[in-house]
Chains A and B, each alone.
Chain A
Amino acid sequence: MGASQSTESNLTARIQRHLSKIVVAPSFAASLFFVYGFILWTGYMAFSKSRMLPVWDWAGLRQYERLWQMERWHVAIENLLIFGGLFIVTCLIIGCLLAVLLDQRIRAEGALRTIFLYPMALSFIVTGTVWKWLLNPGLGLESMMHDFGWTSFKFDWLVNSDMAIYTVVIAAVWQASGFVMAMFLAALRGVDQDIIRAAYMDGASLPRIYFGIIIPSIRPVFLSAIVVLAHLAVKSFDLVIALTGGGPGYASDLPATFMYTMAFQRNQLGVGAASAMMMLATVMAIIVPYLYSELRGGKKNG
């Protein structure tokens, strides 16, 4: 309030000098509080005795011990490995393949690109519900094949405890591979055409040009795509809820659905917080090396 004493022009100059900081400050403060503040708070909750309501009593590592003794958490972690691994690899392969095919200067590329990208515009809830209907043996694909006369056709992954998690992979890949394609397509377009022409001159075949020149030169995009896909995998929640509801039983539980169940349905805030911290650690394990390499790379270039 001391500024009210000074002259008006002085004040304007001051404001202008700090304008950028002032504009950023609210969102900075909000994210500092709502993101990092609550991460710290959740971190503390994981060490507390909280059950129904948050309490501050120290429980040490007890909540983590209980978490790792729970059969259901092991199922969730195993599912995350299956789901995350298959989801990332399949999305990369399909996305890369689509991008390379689209890159062949074909007709109607714009229309095709839109079609492949569209699933990304849907919410995971919609994707989950649609695939639930498609994969339901009594309703979707299997019953359609039976109606066509192929009565021995069997596709019951959705209702099979051992296979349910793979249906989540199918739906997630369908949704995200178009997005990966767009990333690769942009990168492919950025490759220096002169090098490719030079390779042609030297008589290199098309596959050899792709594997020898283009794909190595877009390597950074792989890293970006993996980071985006990995965090999609770790935080996926709505897709599982809509598609399988975590079932049959809890066979397709993921860490996010586990956390929700514990914290909001079972009055186990402490265990829920501990599982949330484990998820954070998983994401950090992926993001931190990535950021590190990015920042170092930036320094080198600068």
Chain B
Amino acid sequence: MYLRKTILATGVAISALATASFAHAEPTAEVLHWWTSGGEAKAVAALKEDFEAKGGKWVDSPVAGGGGDAAMTVLRSRVLSGDAPAAVQLKGPAIQDWAEQGALADLNDVAEAEGWDKVIPPAIQDVMKYEGDYVAVPVNIHRVDWIWANPTLLAKVGATEAPKTWDEFNALADKLKAAGITPVAHGGQPWQDATVFETVVLGLGGPEFFQKALVDLDEDALKSDTMKTVFDQMRKIRGYVDADFPGRDWNLATAMVMNGEAAMQIMGDWAKGEFLAAGKVPGKDFICSATPSEHGYLFNVDSFAMFNVSGDDKVEGQKLLAELIVGEKFQETFNLLKGSIPARLGVSLDKFDDCAKKSEADLLAAQEAGGFLPSMAHGMALRGHLSGAIVDVVTAHFNSDMSSDEAVSRLVEAVELAKD
């Protein structure tokens, strides 16, 4: 009898371990995330330390694999069984998806007490809010439209800086190619193709066109001649990459720029982490420059969405966590480790490198000019099924000899099909 009870109790204890609170109700938060390696893991550990220093109890639920796909599958089953974690690493319109299901908690009282409206850029507030209420907190701002260049290789063809227009880009790439240097380091994975694509859309079409085509999915913009020139440019870029690019991971492409095997890479500022980890100095060993555009800035913001939890200890833990995440201390620590910039403006960037400082300066300028836009390739602008449809066409075009006309008509078709 006793034995059976013990077995039962153990079973209950194991299942409850993730959520149990001890006799005295300390603020508890279970955090579901997939930051399990490198700088990201360190950054999460920093948050955990802060949280525990404030008397909280942190329940870690890391689910690695598939760039978050595995974690999302876990999340679905947890929500369906009525046992959602307090905070979940979620981004972009996925937050709205979950909010629509009524699964997210309201953070307005923390937001008011902390004055989030004043420090978080409005475009990012829109992503974090559902019907005017804060349901998620941003942790960083990654910029997507960067060119990472190797100055030694550029110097070989007489260039001292990264190109400022796409015509310059093509001229420079042609020169590099003629000199026997691979102009563009690229990894042929759908999301990387899409990353290049959206920077070209931003550059050739301008911020307004980007908004229409890739955020509002305006049909006229999608089938416009501008979109055709975008695909023409993609075809040109296809000629600037080396033969072995399909399937290559982005960090291997970054390594090519670092090691002088290729001159430039178009990639978000997580690439900077690779350079810094190798002890390279920005401005000297590598150049960080925005891809050609008129005050455009594509942001990719990681965030934590707060799910409905029950119990005072859990609600309290959730609020404490939200407060800490938006707090200056965490924003600085985390972003120094991750290579991005803080999602709240006004945090001192003294400890950050020159690329990060440029990122913030460009952000402010882009905000003025209306060019501060969500990234499509990184799931900030569109819901998964819509961006997926676009990415399919982009990658099919890039990896075949499809004409720009056909790409445009397929794009319109795919978006229409995904919409309904």
B13 at the interface (CB under 8 A from A): no
**Least Cβ distance of B253 to chain A in Å?**
13
Interface members, chain A 128-151 (any B CB < 8 Å): 132, 136-139
Known interface pairs A250-B392, A264-B72, A265-B388. Does A159 touch B190 (Cβ–Cβ under 8 Å)? no
Residue among A138, A164, A265 with most chain B CB within 10 A: A265
Partner of B388 from A71, A137, A161, A266 at Cβ < 8 Å:
A266
Of chain A, the residue at the smallest CB distance from B93 is: A267
Known interface pairs A250-B190, A250-B392, A250-B396. Does A264 touch B243 (Cβ–Cβ under 8 Å)? no
Tell me if B385 and A70 are in contact (CB < 8 A).
no
Of chain B, the residue at the smallest CB distance from A154 is: B243
Q: Which residues of A contact B384 (CB under 8 A)?
A: 265-268
Interface string of B401-420 (1 = CB under 8 A from A): 00000000010001001001
Tell me if A66 and B417 are in contact (CB < 8 A).
yes
CA distance A244 to B396 in the complex (A): 15
Known interface pairs A71-B392, A267-B97. Does A247 touch B385 (Cβ–Cβ under 8 Å)? no
CA distance A238 to B410 in the complex (A): 29
**Least Cβ distance of B348 to chain A in Å?**
38
A249 at the interface (CB under 8 A from B): yes
CA distance A70 to B385 in the complex (A): 12
Of chain A, the residue at the smallest CB distance from B188 is: A248
Q: How large is the interface on B (under 10, 10 to 19, 20 to 34, 35 or more residues)?
A: 35 or more
**Least Cβ distance of B92 to chain A in Å?**
12
Q: Which residues of A contact B80 (CB under 8 A)?
A: 53-54
Interface string of B236-247 (1 = CB under 8 A from A): 000000111111
Tell me if B97 and A52 are in contact (CB < 8 A).
yes
Interface string of B369-388 (1 = CB under 8 A from A): 00000000000000111001
B286 at the interface (CB under 8 A from A): no
Q: Which residues of A contact B188 (CB under 8 A)?
A: 159, 247-249
Interface members, chain B 187-209 (any A CB < 8 Å): 188-190, 193
Tell me if B399 and A161 are in contact (CB < 8 A).
yes
**Least Cβ distance of A51 to chain B in Å?**
7
Tell me if A53 and B396 are in contact (CB < 8 A).
no
**Least Cβ distance of B403 to chain A in Å?**
15
Partner of A72 from B69, B244, B392 at Cβ < 8 Å:
B392
Of chain A, the residue at the smallest CB distance from B392 is: A72
Tell me if B399 and A251 are in contact (CB < 8 A).
yes
**Least Cβ distance of B42 to chain A in Å?**
27
CA distance A164 to B396 in the complex (A): 14
Partner of A244 from B247, B383, B385 at Cβ < 8 Å:
B247
Q: Which residues of B contact A78 (CB under 8 A)?
A: none
CA distance A70 to B389 in the complex (A): 9
Tell me if B247 and A250 are in contact (CB < 8 A).
no
Tell me if A53 and B76 are in contact (CB < 8 A).
yes
A69 at the interface (CB under 8 A from B): yes
Of chain A, the residue at the smallest CB distance from B401 is: A161
Q: How many A-B residue pairs have CB under 8 A?
A: 92
Known interface pairs A70-B417, A248-B399, A249-B396. Does A267 touch B244 (Cβ–Cβ under 8 Å)? no
B152 at the interface (CB under 8 A from A): no
Of chain A, the residue at the smallest CB distance from B68 is: A265
Known interface pairs A137-B243, A264-B73, A266-B388. Does A71 touch B410 (Cβ–Cβ under 8 Å)? yes
B15 at the interface (CB under 8 A from A): no
CA distance A138 to B385 in the complex (A): 34
Partner of B400 from A51, A158, A161, A245 at Cβ < 8 Å:
A161
Total residues of chain A contacting the partner, CB 8 A: 32
Tell me if A264 and B69 are in contact (CB < 8 A).
yes
Of chain A, the residue at the smallest CB distance from B245 is: A159
CA distance A244 to B248 in the complex (A): 10
CA distance A53 to B79 in the complex (A): 10
Partner of A137 from B244, B400, B420 at Cβ < 8 Å:
B244
Interface of A is mostly: loop
Of chain B, the residue at the smallest CB distance from A243 is: B247
Interface string of A261-277 (1 = CB under 8 A from B): 10011111000000000
Partner of B399 from A51, A52, A247, A267 at Cβ < 8 Å:
A247
Partner of A247 from B97, B98, B190, B388 at Cβ < 8 Å:
B190
Tell me if B69 and A159 are in contact (CB < 8 A).
no
Tell me if A71 and B246 are in contact (CB < 8 A).
no
**Least Cβ distance of B305 to chain A in Å?**
13
Tell me if B189 and A247 are in contact (CB < 8 A).
yes
Known interface pairs A66-B417, A72-B392, A264-B73. Does A249 touch B385 (Cβ–Cβ under 8 Å)? no
Q: Which residues of A contact B101 (CB under 8 A)?
A: 52-53
CA distance A54 to B190 in the complex (A): 27
Tell me if A159 and B244 are in contact (CB < 8 A).
yes
Interface members, chain A 222-267 (any B CB < 8 Å): 244-245, 247-251, 261, 264-267
Q: Which residues of B contact A53 (CB under 8 A)?
A: 76, 79-80, 101
Q: Which residues of B contact A54 (CB under 8 A)?
A: 80
Of chain A, the residue at the smallest CB distance from B73 is: A264
Q: Which residues of A contact B72 (CB under 8 A)?
A: 264
Tell me if A265 and B69 are in contact (CB < 8 A).
yes
Q: Which residues of B contact A268 (CB under 8 A)?
A: 384-385, 388
CA distance A260 to B65 in the complex (A): 14
CA distance A265 to B68 in the complex (A): 9
Q: Which residues of B contact A159 (CB under 8 A)?
A: 188, 243-247
Q: Which residues of A contact B245 (CB under 8 A)?
A: 159
Tell me if A248 and B388 are in contact (CB < 8 A).
no
B395 at the interface (CB under 8 A from A): yes
| Sample (23) of A-B pairs whose CB atoms are under 8 Å apart | A53-B79, A70-B414, A71-B392, A137-B244, A138-B242, A139-B244, A159-B245, A244-B247, A247-B188, A247-B395, A247-B399, A249-B190, A249-B392, A249-B395, A249-B396, A249-B399, A250-B396, A251-B396, A261-B388, A266-B388, A267-B94, A267-B383, A268-B385
Q: A247-B399, A265-B384 are in contact. List 7 more A-B contacts (CB 8 A).
A: A159-B245, A244-B247, A247-B247, A249-B193, A250-B190, A265-B66, A266-B385
Chain A interface (Cβ within 8 Å of chain B)?
51-54, 66, 69-72, 132, 136-139, 156, 158-159, 161, 164, 244-245, 247-251, 261, 264-268
Q: Which 9 pairs between the two chains have the least Cβ-Cβ distance?
A: A249-B399, A138-B244, A248-B399, A248-B246, A249-B395, A159-B246, A266-B388, A267-B384, A266-B384
